[in-house]
Amino acid sequence: MKKVTAALVALTLVSTIPVFAQDGRMNFFITSAGPGDGANLGGLEGADQQCTDLAYTAGLGDDLLWRAYLSTIASNGMSAVNARDRIGGGPWYNYAGAMIARDATHLHSEDVNLTKETQLNERGSIVNGRGDSPNMHDILTGSNLDGTSYGGGEGYTNCDNWTSNGEGSTRVGHHDRQGGGENPNSWNSAHNSRGCSQENLQATGGNGFYYCFGSPDEQSDLEPKLPRE
């Protein structure tokens, strides 16, 4: 029993060790954790705060504005928000310093450098994809292929714009660029989720993760956030 326990501890430690050394240009990552409440992220504000907190704990400091790559739908008199309009102008680099995209146009093109190996979390670790256990390749976006808000259809709620863990659905991408759905190779718009709860996100190969992008103050008209105490 002691040997088994030790092996499990060792495996856990290995899974959290960065695969690469952190590059000073890093301004893109997949979250290593969500709030654990499905697609209820506390709205865009809560999602942005989580990006900021994770960046800070990863040692990235406060010189960038961190924003979640998430779209919203028009609701309650509020206009839709496009994920591509929230993240600054680029270029964006991952934990290891690999440039994933020069700008928003490149980010949403076929030439973007986004693969399972380049889409690292804030700790520099590769996120589980198709073929791994558990599969966590569904990444929350609420977006079309071009980064605009996904209009959806009947039953599509965008999880009440990231405030609900109940009925409805949202749009997800595949960070490993493979799987099922209308656009299985898309990193940001592969298919709709089964629901908005943590269980429903996990059932189709997700875990409530999403993308975070950092930009200098001058690239954003949004108020900067500070890490939570």
Domain boundaries, the chain: 21-219
pLDDT at residue 151, rounded to an integer: 85
pLDDT at residue 19, rounded to an integer: 61
CB 216 within 8 A of CB 198: no
Q: Which residue has the higher pLDDT, 67 or 22?
A: 67
In percent, the amount of the chain with pLDDT more than 70 equals: 85
Q: What is the CATH number of domain 21-219?
A: 3.10.100.10
pLDDT, the chain, mean? 89
Mean pLDDT on 184-213: 97
Residue 21 has pLDDT above 50, yes or no: yes
pLDDT at residue 13, rounded to an integer: 36
Is 201 in a helix, a strand, or coil? helix
Mean pLDDT on 24-47: 96
CB 171 within 8 A of CB 142: yes
CB 52 within 8 A of CB 227: yes
pLDDT at residue 145, rounded to an integer: 99
Reported in sequence order, the residue ranges of 117-178 that DSSP labels E, i.e. its strands, are 138-140, 171-174
Q: Which residue has the higher pLDDT, 141 or 155?
A: 141
Q: For residue 146, which phi and psi values (nearest 5 degrees)? A: -90, 5
pLDDT at residue 155, rounded to an integer: 78
7 pLDDT tier (thresholds 50, 70, 90): very low
**What angle is formed at CA 119 by the lines to CA 118 and CA 122, rounded to 5 degrees?**
115
Q: Which residue has the higher pLDDT, 60 or 201?
A: 201
User: What confidence tens digit (pLDDT) does each residue in 207-218 have?
Assistant: 999 999 999 865
Q: In 3D, which of 198, 70, 200, 210 has the Cα closest to residue 144?
A: 70
Mean pLDDT on 39-53: 98
